Chains A and B, each alone.
Chain A
Amino acid sequence: MGHIVLLGMNHKTAPVEIREQLAVACASQANPLQLFPYLRHVQELFFLSTCNRVEILFTCLSLDEATQEIKALLRTHLGTPQISAAELEAGLYVHRDEQAVRHLFRVSASLDSMVVGEPQILGQIKAAYREAITYRTVRVILNRLLHKAFSVAKRVRSDTMIGCYAVSISYAAVELARKIFGELEGKKVLVIGAGEMAELAAEHFLAQGVRHMAVANRTLERAMALSQRFKAKTVPFDHILDELKDVDIVLTSTGSPMPVLTFQDVKSRMRRRRNKPLFFIDIAVPRDIEQRVNEIDNVYLYDIDDLQGVVELNRTERRKEAERAEHIVWEEALKFQEWLRTLDVVPTIIALREKAETIRRNEMRKTLAQLPGLADRERQAIEVLTESIVGKLLHDPIMFLKKKATRDSKQIFVDHTQQLFNLTDGNRPHSSALTEVLANVKKDNENSQQK
């Protein structure tokens, strides 16, 4: 029986020096999967490397040899004399079988990420999977496992609210805007001051469909640079009050020691706006907008502390959701384990079918040779008849084997079946039968991928 092993390191286990080396390795083009043909003990291989983690997933028959090979591979990939073998070893974790499956599921569902729930990791795993496909290093088991990992990630995302809570200031601001305006498409954003935070928030708003953006900054060069990047127009700093009559969201981050917008400034312009809601996001310290502005009807003001509060709250919510997600991961890992166990009986089933089919063909040939006068229709009828006899006869034993496949006692049934039907090359891995299974399953997977 083969093993699934996951060997890796992440931001929790490896110190930053090693992760820096990893980052360099990330950037380099050489893919460790190229070395796959030289690994004698590893049957399937999947390699994920991001700047926060390296995960190597493989299947093998003999655990120790394969692990040694993979460690050597990792050292080659890192290609660093700076890190001693002992240091590398210290940062590594090795998970086996069910543990490995669970770890992979946790990673893809973003439960193991630095920012729990961030969605990038799934994309990175998918990209790594495509790589592995091009190097032909994943087959039946890892193929299935990785597809399962994608669907677990999807399930976690849809069944829990793990991704629903904004955990960055700028994203929290976008979420709030959505609670005020609903759709952000067609809304107008005015960016006052061109700090880095404002830039980040502006990016989020653009991603949400905001198309009209204006930038006002005291130094025109910086405003120009931003406006070019966001395809925004620039507004002279003294004219921002005029802009207030038709923008919906105002983002301020100037270094001004005095408020840029006062209560009166805003209040007196609400009538001209016909009371359309106005959302101020003030991420400057000291603050750019007078606190009292929040008291005006249809005006909402959030400063950096308010947003920080939202983020804090969301972090707690995320942690709660993460617990529910863990439960899903456990459940799916168990299901996968069950599937793995059924894999053991597949070669026997195939051998059984093959044997029956060979007998059927031989007998058909003999019979048809003695009946030369048959028309095509009649030949076909006999063909169908024999096929259905064989199929029906085999149906029960096959169902029986499949049913017993998840039991620990399955080996007895497999052995009995092989003796009963005199199947020679039944349950040995890498037999011709297994290659056929691989081909079949691969075909299935490719089909499902195309869909």
Chain B
Amino acid sequence: MVTVFFVVATICYCVGAVGYLIYLFRDWEPIHRAALGALIGGALAQTVAIISQSYHVGHLAVANSHEALAFFAWILVITYLFVQLCINLRILGSFVSPLAVVFMLTASLLPAKTIPTTTVFQSIWMVLHVVTLFLANALFALAFSAGIMYLLQERHIKRKNFSFLYPRLPSLERLDSINYFCLITGFPLMTIGLVAGFAYAGTVWRSPWNWDPKEIFALITWFIYAILLHERLAVGWRGRRAAWLAIFGFSAILITFLGVNLFFEGHHTVFVR
């Protein structure tokens, strides 16, 4: 049953992404409505899948790489839908929805073994850790998308070359303000998530810091965003540099999130086998 909903969600996201890609090139209202509808449908289907799976295993269903990736795609879509509701920037969907599809497809490639539930998974710290960090990552993914859009649009304007995407992309200031908004909301969430993670590690392994690869990379990522935030607030970094750092930061997140899960051995691997 869970698999059915998962597959439905994946298909919906794919349809939504294709629709949004068409919308990127053709300003056609029905296609946007269809794509948005597909994303909402997919998010609903996946909500059902996640709730029933979590109920089934007795804890939040993020206990292996398959579930974690799918959960991330879900949070990304939900965050996008929410942001879309607030600022109504449709073109953002053309950049975010393919990202969600990539995560969903990667998730479906990974084995979905269920790990027998233990008390380790049922800590409130763990839920806090996962939800805040994933939310922060989703916001940073939006910043990443806005960053790509910014660089494209900036290139159009700087080079005076008004090729196909110029009329479809929004103004530079608007993209930069999305970058800023995602940073200013994502960074505190990320900090809370990491603190919760360390607190949780403290209860499980008696020490909050264990030189685990995941911990090291997480800290590096946190520093990248801390630098970006600091430079933005103190020096007034914006525009192209901010866009590049948002892209760079999100790459670091991907390494921390996926690379470390898949290629490094460490005690965090307990959760993502």
- Interface on A for B, CB 8 Å cutoff? 164, 176, 178-182, 271, 273-277, 294, 297-298, 300, 302, 306, 309-310, 313
Contact = CB atoms under 8 A, between A and B. Distances in A.
Given A275-B237, A297-B240, A181 B173 contact: yes
A180 B177 CA distance: 12
A121 B157 CA distance: 32
Contact of A275 (B153, B158, B166, B239): B239
Contacts of A300: 157-158
B171 interface: yes
A275 B157 contact: no
A313 B163 CA distance: 10
Contacts of A276: 236, 238
Given A297-B240, A310-B162, A178 B235 contact: no
A182 B239 contact: no
B172 A309 contact: no
Contact of A274 (B157, B166, B236): B236
Contacts of B171: 178-182
Interface in B136-172: 153, 157-158, 160, 162, 166-167, 170-172
Contacts of A302: 160
B239 A176 contact: no
7 contacts: A180-B157, A181-B173, A274-B238, A275-B237, A276-B238, A297-B241, A298-B238
B267 interface: no
B26 interface: no
Given A176-B157, A271-B235, A302-B160, 17 more contacts: A179-B157, A180-B157, A181-B171, A181-B172, A182-B170, A182-B171, A274-B235, A274-B236, A274-B238, A275-B236, A275-B237, A275-B239, A276-B236, A277-B173, A300-B158, A310-B160, A310-B162
A228 to B, nearest CB: 31
Tell me if A's interface is mostly helix, strand, loop or mixed. mixed
Contact of A277 (B166, B170, B239): B239
A168 B173 CA distance: 24
Contacts, number: 52
B56 interface: no
Interface of B: 153, 157-158, 160, 162, 166-167, 170-174, 235-241
A274 B240 CA distance: 14
Contacts of A277: 172-173, 238-239
B160 A306 contact: yes
Contacts of A309: 160
A274 B259 CA distance: 36
Contacts of A297: 239-241
B174 A182 contact: yes
Contacts of A271: 235-236
A445 B104 CA distance: 57
A271 B237 CA distance: 9
B3 to A, nearest CB: 45
A410 B171 CA distance: 57
Nearest to A305: B160
Nearest to A272: B236
A180 B173 contact: yes
Contacts of A176: 157
A169 to B, nearest CB: 14
B249 to A, nearest CB: 19
B173 A182 contact: yes
A179 B174 CA distance: 9
B167 to A, nearest CB: 8
A226 to B, nearest CB: 27
A179 B154 CA distance: 10
Most buried by A among B170, B238, B240, B241: B238
Nearest to B231: A275
A300 B239 CA distance: 12
B193 to A, nearest CB: 30
A269 to B, nearest CB: 12
Contacts of B236: 271, 273-276
Nearest to B176: A277
Contacts of B158: 294, 300
A291 to B, nearest CB: 12
Contacts of B238: 274-277, 298
Contacts of B172: 179-182, 277
A182 B172 CA distance: 7
A294 B171 CA distance: 18
A275 to B, nearest CB: 5
Most buried by A among B172, B173, B237, B239: B173
A182 B89 CA distance: 13
Nearest to A248: B173
Which A-B residue pairs are the 10 nearest by beta carbons?
A: A274-B236, A182-B171, A182-B173, A298-B239, A275-B236, A182-B174, A306-B160, A181-B173, A180-B172, A275-B238
A340 to B, nearest CB: 32
A162 to B, nearest CB: 14
B148 to A, nearest CB: 17
